[in-house]
Amino acid sequence: MLRRTPLRRRGFLARGAGLKRTAPLKARRRSKADARAEWSEDDGKKALEARSECCERCGNGGRLDWHHRKNRSQGGGWNPANGLRLCRPCHRFVTVNPDAGRVGGWCVKPHEDSAEVPFEHWQWGPVRITDDTTTYHIVQEGQAS
């Protein structure tokens, strides 16, 4: 917005006069995002190592990468519900093909909660994962996803 009137100097702030004080902000309830922000990178990786020793997409062992189901740039953190252990080829496939990753649940959209969206596990089929456990919750065929 372009200001069309010139600024008028009203004088200097008197020495010792502070700025106007306002009431303190109200404390707000902790949101899910705040709770997930408590996970550090090391804590999240340790939880994933306890959950899986192989690629969660194809079952291969070897070098495994952390894959963020919701990218960090989209608000995803290091919480276990947002992470998968994937081998390099699977990680590359899911990263390069996000639409195919969303079909399998390996990627979630920015507005979705990664704890609520099941993903296709190589051994047990569609499963959900949560932050407070290292186990998989198998989604039954009749359950809504």
Supply the mean pLDDT for the chain. Answer: 85
Domain presence at residue 143: no
Q: Which two tokens stand for residue 107?
A: 């990627």
Phi, psi dihedral angles at 84 (to 5 degrees): -135, 150
CA distance 134 to 114: 15
Domain presence at residue 108: yes
Domain presence at residue 64: yes
pLDDT digits 0-9 by tens, 44-55: 899 999 999 999
pLDDT digits 0-9 by tens, 69-111: 999 999 888 999 999 999 999 999 999 999 999 999 999 999 9
Judged against a pLDDT cut of 80, whether residue 67 lies above it is answered with yes
**In 10 A of CB 40, how many CB atoms?**
11
Mean pLDDT throughout 29-54?
79
% of the chain exceeding 70 in pLDDT: 81
Judged against a pLDDT cut of 90, whether residue 1 lies above it is answered with no
Domain presence at residue 6: no
Number of domains in the chain: 1
Judged against a pLDDT cut of 90, whether residue 56 lies above it is answered with yes
Domain presence at residue 5: no
CA distance 139 to 127: 5
Give 3-state DSSP helix, strand, coil % of the chain, rounded to 5.
25, 15, 60
pLDDT digits 0-9 by tens, 11-26: 776 776 666 677 776 7
Question: Is-contact 101 84, C-beta < 8 A?
Answer: no
Distances (CA, A) of 65 to 9, 24, 76, 130: 60, 44, 16, 19
* 3 vs 79, higher pLDDT: 79
Query: 102: domain range?
Result: 38-138
Give bridge partners of residue 85 from the DSSP assignment.
Answer: 66
**pLDDT given at position 106:** 96
**pLDDT given at position 132:** 76
Domain presence at residue 24: no
Give bridge partners of residue 126 from the DSSP assignment.
Answer: 120
Phi, psi dihedral angles at 74 (to 5 degrees): -105, 10
